[in-house]
Amino acid sequence: MANNPIFKIKEYGQSIWMDYLDRQLIESGELKNKIETRGISGITSNPKSFAKAVSNNRVYDSDIEAGIKGGKSTSEIYESLIFEDIRNACDIFRPIYDESGGTDGFVSIEVSPHLARDTQRTVEEARRFFRAIDRDNVFIKIPGTKEGFPAIEQAISEGINVNITLLFSVESYVESAWAYVRGLEARVAAGKPIENIASVASFFLSRIDTKVDNRIDERLKRIGTEELNEEARLRELKGKVAIANAKVAYQRFKEIIESDRFKALAEQGANIQRVLWASTSTKNPDYSDVMYVNELIGPNTVNTLPPDTIEACADHADVAPNRVETEADKAQKTLESLGEPDIQIDYDQVMAELVEEGIEKFAKPFDSLMKSIEEKAEQLTPV
């Protein structure tokens, strides 16, 4: 463990959380083992892992059967299953939450992705989830959509911990940060405490490179050999935009926490809303499997990794302090270059498409999970 880079990353101010949760991980003791041997200090759940777990093993069967006998609907059975797992995971991480003063040890659960464009219903579901799970160290995941930002602000104002997800553009990150600030300001104005409220802003990475790289490949197919300089510039951008985007967002993060508005809240006990790097498994086999770890280490950040990337990181990550701030000016220039005539990639369009695709990518596994529960219920229902 002494040579595990993850423990060194923690010394540099970044927490490593795992992006995977199911009941078998909890009951087998593997989750506790990951905490001890891999240094993970938080976890995010997602419907995709739950759907796989429900379909492929019997660990949930008895509870599904009990739900059937109790006359519960599919959605009620789903919530009973996931709430139990989230509570148990929260209890496992509670010592980390206490030892870190409420900075780490969080477990995230998302509201239905079908509510991404519905502010009021998102708020209602966030309230219900937070109360039902009843753990100080639970995060409710709310998407960073136009409709999600007021829901985030409202949830924070009510004392609900929020993991803001589906952030792609720097602008959307800034919106999420100010939604957090406004929520805290509303609580202060109402005479309510803010010192126990936490939030992270989950900034997605690999999906950006995948989409931009695809656009670059399309441009490369259209240009001829007489445009070698243009080709070289395009190729140089491949696999570079997501990290540049994250580095620029981190500079905005620093500006916000140094603002007078946040400093006033900090005097009242406000916690910093940390930036969380998400979608960190490398999709292109030509790229390093730890590139989104190595390049984005820095204070007040979280990196949430799937299990395979955690193992890769523990084996061969090349870590150094505060890499997220290296070549910040170059990162800004990289983003600005996208709109130049020889690149012709519309940054705003790419980010808008990623949000819409992200909602769909969240909704599909959620629907698959509900179908898996229905199918399992049919298998367990006596004829």
Structure tokens at 183: 């929520």
Distance CA 131, CA 87 (A): 12
Burial of 33 from C-beta contacts in 10 A (0-12 / 13-18 / 19+): exposed
Active site residues: 141
Q: What angle do CA 118, 124, 127 make, to 5 degrees?
A: 135
Distance CA 354, CA 367 (A): 20
Q: What is the 3-state secondary structure (H, E, C) of 269-335?
A: CCCCCEEEEECCCCCCCCCCCCHHHHCCCCCCEEEEECHHHHHHHHHHCCCCCCHHHCCHHHHHHHH
Q: Could you tell me the end-to-end alpha-carbon distance of the chain, in angstroms, rounded to an integer?
A: 53
